[in-house]
Amino acid sequence: RFDPGYHRIWPLILFSGGTGQFVGGTVSPGKIRGDRTQTSPEFCGVQLVMIVMPAIDLIAGRCVRLYRGDFTQQTTYEKDPIEQGKAFQTAGFSRLHLVDLEGARDGMGRNRQKIQEVVKALDIPVQVGGGIRKRQDIIQLLGAGVHYLILGTSILNDPEGVTQWIDEWGPEYFIASLDLQRGELCGEGWVEQSNVALREVCEQIMSWGIPQVICTDVERDGTLTHPNYQTYRELFDCFSGSVQLVAAGGISQPMHIARLEKIGIDGAVVGKALYEGDVDWKDFVNAG
């Protein structure tokens, strides 16, 4: 059932007829390069399903959640990130979304050691974002066993550098992150507004061949309300189904995931609802 080739073909594949399983792993620069495939509900007899990912955000090595991306409105949780990740894995989630919020804001990678410890402790794939601004960051994180690297600020501020990274490693190990506040792109940990037009960035992402895009509606993040469905409809149209879209921000009920799937969204990140909500985690696991 395990085929490394699927990593370069369709990163969010889950095998039908049993427990979902991800494929792939870290590689040396340029070792694996692959062609893209068209979006399809089934590929090579493998059923594609929506994936629901739990989120761990880190500040000072602790699990935290922000309210609408505001660093002054921070909730810190007692459970250690390693134990939190293990709990999510035990519940049945098949991939972890892990973000260094301090790294996203200042690019310093202050939580890199904790990230490595979390990745080492888990069997499920981990996607990591926050502070990935240099080639050395990529080498370090892939070498630590991170499966996918989330690029946000780098895409806005250093597209030439991103092009070089994709030429070196291939697009399969990168996830493009689009963080929106009131419909405008922002970077630097949601602190700085960008002057780059959304459609321009979408076209650049498609030209790179990055297969996964995560969009966070910052105004909904940490609110326990509901997603901004219109935002995801517009993004789906912008990409014309050429990438896998993952929604984040305001997803607090399994019904939100079902509605996103009808729009054409391929994945969802759930955060505060898993820490403070009243929904059983299994309901989110099974919502995909």
Q: Would you name the residues annotated as active-site residues? A: 57, 179
- Tokens describing residue 1: 């059932």
Contact 58, 115 (CB under 8 A): yes
Contact 125, 85 (CB under 8 A): no
Comparing CA positions, the residue from 4, 265, 1, 272 lying closest to residue 147 is 4
Where does residue 216 fall: left (phi above 0), alpha (psi -120 to 50 degrees), or beta otherwise?
beta
User: Cα separation of 11 and 16, whole Å?
Assistant: 15
- Count other C-beta atoms under 10 Å from residue 188's C-beta: 17
- The torsion angles phi and psi of 150, rounded to 5 degrees, stand at -95, 125
Please calculate the CA angle 86-177-44 and round it to the nearest 5 degrees.
75
